[in-house]
Structure 1
Amino acid sequence: MSSLELQSGFVSVAEHDALLEVTLDRPDKLNALSAEMYRDLSRAVDHVRDRDDLNALLLDANGRAFTAGNDIGDFLNADPEARRSGELSPAMQLVHRLLTLDKPVIAAVHGNATGIGTTLLLHCDLVIAADSARFYTAFINLGLVPEAGSSLILPDLLGRQNANRLLLAGDTLDADEALRMGLVAYRCGDDELRDKALELGGKLAAKPPQAMQYTKQLTRHGADAVREQINKESVLFSERMFSDETRAIFETFLNKK
């Protein structure tokens, strides 16, 4: 049986029979995601894949928000040479792992789900939103472009106009709108969220695992196109991330903080 060694100090895990709960635990920073947190999340996905006695993964968060998205300080300190070489960011390495995981992934969202906090949900199988959940991609206001395949998936999932509300207008969707549009599957009260998520996760983990694996493979349409789109997005995202325009926006954002 493989062991799971986490290194960031901001991601915790708990096993509930055949369900692995993975919790973002950086509440003082609204669970802003650092490179090492992404690596921990990737380690958790690999752990679920490798363990025959784990059949499902639940992603949730402590504190007031699901996540504030990428840690802007990480963006400012990123190595441009690594990005120019075509190396995928730790965030996109996580997304690629989720794309190939044949076990169900549930996300439980409360508070703000900003940037990749929203686009990561596109690679989960079922999302439960608390009443407080708010979905905001943030990229356009930071001078960035979409990532995680969202420029392909969101128009297909929500329709072009609703996708452009997120990607061009920079609108924020509340839990009602997200449910109506199909961005999330369920909605509940904030005080019910974890219990509902654990109940759903346990239900999925108890189903026949081979049938679950085949079903995910059958419903995973266009995975190759999504991977190709992620690679296209990553090139433009890196170009924008190191542009003078976007660096100035980052500096202003951090100075306000």
Structure 2
Amino acid sequence: MSILVDDRARVRTLTLDRPDALNAFNEELYDATTEALRAAADDPSVAVVLITGNGRAFSAGTDLREMHARTSDPNFQPGKHGFLGLIDALAEFPKPLVCAVNGLGLGIGATILGFADLAFMSTEAKLKCPFTGLGVAPEAASSYLLPALIGRQNAAWMLMSSEWIHADQAKDMGLVFQVCAPDELMDVARRHAETLAAKPISSLMAVKATMTAPLRAEIAAARERENGCFRELMGGPANVEALTAFAEGREPDFTSLPAGA
């Protein structure tokens, strides 16, 4: 299994479990996480979901080797749900969602925080939205959710720079609720999750529904814009250079690409 599931005190903890790959999302993990979220949404014994990672990473984002195969292998077989299915599940998740960022988070390992109702982060963790470094576009409605959550300039830096955001920066931006020592992270995150989980599930869902209702149309529109840009850029000169450089173990060079690429 690529995901571990633990139930305690009406909190379901989902632990991403590909530690050797820094919990990068391959098709299997996208499918497993999507199905775990949907199962938790439908389970009347689950009040809150807590997501974290196993090992030294929260998630290294999309598995770049699979991304390269998707663009270069005509026989590549996508999963049942894939990336878009996971974002559907996050956008539709009706119960409180808590994230405990235990280590590095890239791509969806960072943009998932746009869907979190509470996020906690280890002092040793760091986040990156590597989209411009990969020659692609934002994802997961981050072009809408991040400016709304942390302000336009903070979001512009995260989405445009492909630079690391450290825990104190994330807290100052409002991207996470609390920063914790590594050995305290899960206890703190779980304590908050269990506080919520002791409340009536119907009330928790009502609060979340009323908070997210005004966002739903904007999230859908942002995803449509992002997916259009992503389709246009994926497999283009900048994306090919980025993935080739990754496969060759070197830094990409975008300066020699055709104008506008």
Q: Secondary structure at the match of 2:127?
A: strand
Letter matched to residue 221 of structure 2: E
What does residue 85 of structure 1 align with? none
8 A Cα contact 2:114 2:149, kept in partner: no
2:133 alignment partner, one of 141, 155, 168: 141
Q: Which segment is superposed worse, 177-186 or 232-241?
A: 232-241
| C-alpha contact 1:135 1:173 (8 A) present in aligned 2 | yes
Separation (CA, whole Å) in 1 of partners of 2:189 and 2:13: 10
Q: Are 2:23 and 1:44 aligned?
A: no
Which residue matches 1:93?
Answer: 85
Q: What is the CA distance between 1:89 and its match in structure 2? A: 6.8
- AA at the equivalent of 2:230: F
CA distance in 1, matches of 2:237, 2:48: 43
Alignment partner of 1:13: what SS? strand
- What is the aligned partner in structure 1 of residue 172 from structure 2? 180
1:236 is aligned to 229
Matches within 5 A, 1:1-257: 9-78=1-70, 90-220=82-212, 221-256=214-249
The TM-score with structure 2 as length reference comes to 0.88
Q: Are the equivalent residues in 2 in contact too, given 1:106–1:126 (CA < 8 A)?
A: yes
Residue 235 of structure 1 aligns with an amino acid whose one-letter code is G
Hey, what's the Cα distance between the residues in 2 that align with 1:211 and 1:89? 30
Q: Distance in 1 between matches of 2:233 and 2:109?
A: 20
**In 1, are the aligned partners of 2:107 and 2:129 still within 8 Å (CA)?**
yes
Structure 2: tracts of 5 or more residues without a match: 75-79, 251-261
Partner Cα distance (2:11, 2:89) in 1: 18
The answer to whether the 8 A contact 2:111-2:129 is kept is: yes
Give the distance between the partners of 2:39 and 2:71, measured in 1 at CA. Answer: 28
| Structure 1 match to 2:77 | none
Determine if contact 1:96/1:227 at 8 Å carries over to the other structure: no
The percent identity for this pair of structures is: 33
Letter in 2 for 1:226: I
Which runs of structure 1 show a deviation greater than 3 angstroms over 4 or more consecutive aligned residues?
none
Residue pair 2:132, 2:160 contacting (<8 A) in 1 also: yes
SS at 2:59 equivalent: coil
1:71-104 CA-partner distances (Å, limit 9, x unpaired): 0111112269x9xxxxx97222212212122111
Deviations 1:167-224 (A, max 9, x none): 1122221111111111001111000111112222222111111111110011113211
State the Cα distance separating 1:245 from its structure 2 match. Answer: 2.5
Q: CA deviation at 1:232?
A: 1.7
Retained in 2: the 8 A contact 1:75–1:241? no
Contact 2:16 2:53 in 1 (8 A): yes
Note the aligned Cα RMSD (angstroms): 2.1
Distance in 2 between residues matched to 1:89 and 1:72, nearest whole Å: 18
- Partner in structure 2 of residue 5 of structure 1: none
